[in-house]
Amino acid sequence: MLHGMRRSARWGMLFKVVYWAVILGGAAYAFSYVTPYLDAVSNAYSALQGGTPSANQQQGSFPDFSKLLENFR
């Protein structure tokens, strides 16, 4: 009876180790698969943030049409 309990404990430990290896291995694989996409999104977001000041500078280079619109009133 004691041998059976030990054998069950060993099999339980083995399955627990395999279970966690599958969980952690799957998480590591998923992270390595998703990382390039996250980098692309991060680069696009930082480019979008960096593009805002240049858009504001370009807005100042447009001619002022408010005087032209006043003539139509």
Note the pTM of the prediction, 2 decimals: 0.51
Q: Where are the alpha helices (DSSP H) in the chain?
A: 2-61, 66-72
Distance linking the first and last C-alpha atoms of the chain: 102
Per-residue pLDDT, 13: 97
Per-residue pLDDT, 37: 86
Spatial distance between the Cα atoms of 26 and 29, rounded to a whole number of angstroms: 5
Return left, alpha or beta for 63; rule: phi > 0 is left, psi -120 to 50 is alpha, else beta.
beta
Q: Within the chain, which residues score under 70 in pLDDT?
A: 50-65, 67-69, 71, 73
